[in-house]
Amino acid sequence: MAQSNWFNQNKNRSFPFIKGTVGVRIPESGPVTMNQLPHDFIADAGFITGVESYFDVEEHTIYLYRVSRAGDTVLFEFRSDAPVLYDYPMVFTRDIDDAEYSVEHVEVSVEGSQSSESDSGEDYCEEPLWSGYLVTGEMESIAARLADGEEIVRETGDAEVEPALIQNIHATILAAIDLANADRTRATASDGCDDPIWSYPTGVIYPGEKCVQGDVKIKPGYNTKLLQDDLANSITILAKKGQGAGEPCEEVPVFEGETPPEGASNDLLAGGLLCNEVVRSINGVGGPLFQITAGLGVSVVAEPENNKVIVDVNMIGLAVCLFDLSQVSESLSE
Amino acid sequence: MPRILFPEFRDQLEPTKYPFGETVSLVNVNGDTILEGSFLDAHLYPVGGGARMYLSKVVVDHDEVTFFVGDATNTELCSGSYDLIDPPSRIGLTDQYSRPAGVLISEPSRIALFQAWGIGTHTFELSQSEFAATCCMPTPEVGVRGILLADGTLFTGRTWIIGDDGVVVSYEEASSADKCGAPADVLPAIRVDVVGDPLFRRRLCEDPGLYETPRPVRLIRFRRDDHVFECTPNEYGNITMQMNDQQPNTALRIYTNGDGMVIEVAGSNTTLTD
């Protein structure tokens, strides 16, 4: 039967592992350690470390961690010492009756749908963490060395894959876009008053949609203008009053379900006060300091400790005739 | 002399020009020679790299050696360097945006030979140092590979877009345009809203500790004897106080000046009367 010369060569040498990390003093028969892994177990392999793998070709390696057998099934478990990949081994499955030079391609990703969460709390998009292929040698030879229920486990330095068989595409493309908004500036109370209380943490970044992939459209919202320059391959996002979706009639929440502080007198998400909740001017004269001047026949007495101003229309200083003083209004403000 | 029937991969290729092509000279016009076996293997996959890549430049410096890989359109597709004091066995290659672009495999004793070339830039041409086709993985520049800022910063991988300082970003689904009557696709859309920051003064002054929350007057309570009236401002925050113009012959006057308001009674003062 015609066979690939490339595979034939490899099943007689360490490749795809670095010389000295496998196939050292292989016993004539019987069980082997990983360092003694016979050359004819594996004929070829190749790996692609993914966009989110944080793999570094100068620092990290990929290695065969374990070969195990359960009944007629043999598992080849590859791992990487790249921290992100370590908990996600790549396992190739063979049946003891599989033909020589059987090929299998495997992709390893965090299980679940888009943006699944791993045990470590990190979340990942659908992109594979890493992928690879494996070409195995003679399964009879493997079966002869590995009894049912047995396994061969790597020790440090064993079964390291040739680095040139790894294509590292970490951070080479834009894998996905995650959206978030920083917190808005939130109102605080003045001295002596209680600060507003929100029913959610404030002062944090609020994550929004995660793993936005595919053909992504950038849409101008309120007061936003987009300039697209095909020649320069650029998009400029400008703040322009009334552009895009126009001016908003209501506040735009920084995250879904954002609410005003508890017990707020209005619907302002940042807390604070509406224009009609603060005296900004009297008779059109604005603050912050407003002066009440007592003219002829009037005296103004301030009681700051009571937040009180007494305006006394007492006619003092006026040349008056006797008449009913009750016609003159007396006002008091506080 | 014994013959090894199945030599190890690196041993087999060590006396050959690999990872360079069989037809290259490995000598440049200045006579700089790349010895066979200087590199044991290579895997090149720079973004935008074509099929025929070559070692375009070797720059020897006082403390490091840098290898540049190029193709027909760009002589600096990617590069990698090593420290003269501590030559490695693997040299990672990166492109101008520090994206992984490949690896050169050697051994410290082999790679250290390049420092003997002398300080300077040693250039090669395609015919002199083209890599073997099996080492080159063409990686066309398809799709969006990153977000490049005006200052040259490139964001790749998983990228966050964060709205801040009056800008809010959100996710929507939008229909694709210009479909000439064909059913529109639903596209993921990033919506950008510029809504400003109503409390911008607080934001600008809070960090230096210059901001103190004001205690605004929210209403004015008027009292006359037992009558109490509470006045809140109108939509513009204004309260109007005026004399009772429904009352004939009233002498009370209220008018504004630049600083506030003057309340007085019209009439002659006692000095004039006297």
Interface test with B, best of A177, A195, A301 (most B CBs within 10 A): A177
Which of B72, B100, B135 finishes a domain? B135
Least confident among A135-139, A235-239, A279-283, B241-245? B241-245
Tell whether pTM > 0.80: no
Is B206 within 8 Å of B220 (Cβ atoms)?
Answer: no
Question: What ipTM was assigned to the predicted interfaces of this complex?
Answer: 0.76
**Above 60 in pLDDT, residue B156?**
yes
For A251-261, b where at least 16 C-beta lie within 10 A, e where not — what string?
bbebbeebebb
Question: Is the minimum CB–CB distance between B169 and chain A shorter than 8 Å?
Answer: yes
Classify residue B149: in a domain, yes or no.
Answer: no
As for how many domains chain B has, the answer is: 2
Which of B135, B153, B188 finishes a domain? B135
Which of B135, B155, B178 finishes a domain? B135
Is B106 within 8 Å of B91 (Cβ atoms)?
Answer: yes
Which chain B residue is nearest to residue A215, measuring alpha carbons?
B187
Question: Could you read off the pLDDT of A238-284 as tens digits, one per residue?
Answer: 999 999 999 999 999 999 999 999 988 899 999 988 888 899 899 99
**pLDDT recorded at residue A117:** 46
Residues 6+ apart with CB under 8 A from A104: A92, A93, A94, A133, A134
Provide the domain limits for residue B131: 9-135
CA gap A103, A43 in Å, rounded? 10
Least confident among A61-75, A113-127, A165-179? A113-127
Question: Could you read off the pLDDT of B38-85 as tens digits, one per residue?
Answer: 999 999 999 988 879 999 999 999 999 999 999 988 999 999 999 999
With CA atoms as reference, report the closest residue to A35 among A59, A67, A77, A81: A67
Higher pLDDT, A200 or B51: A200
| Strand locations in chain B (E) | 41-44, 54-60, 64-70, 78-83, 90-94, 100-105, 120-123, 147-148, 154-155, 157-163, 167-175, 186-194, 220-224, 227-231, 238-239, 252-256, 260-265
* Neighbour count for residue A8 (Cβ, 10 Å): 15
**Above 60 in pLDDT, residue A120?**
no
Same domain, B130 and B228: no
Classify residue B204: in a domain, yes or no.
Answer: no
Is B158 within 8 Å of A125 (Cβ atoms)?
Answer: yes
**pLDDT recorded at residue A334:** 41
Closest approach of chain B CAs to the CA of A230, in angstroms? 14
CA-angle at A183, arms to A178 and A185, nearest 5°: 155
Classify residue B172: in a domain, yes or no.
Answer: no
Same domain, B21 and B128: yes
Enumerate the β-bridge partners of residue B191: A219, B170
CA gap A247, B173 in Å, rounded? 21
B 179-198 residues inside an 8 A Cβ radius of A: 185, 187-198
Which chain B residue is nearest to residue A244, measuring alpha carbons?
B193
* Residue B274's pLDDT band (cuts 50, 70, 90): very low
Interface test with A, best of B169, B218, B273 (most A CBs within 10 A): B169
Classify residue B110: in a domain, yes or no.
Answer: yes
Q: Which residues of A touch B233 (CB under 8 A)?
A: 275-280
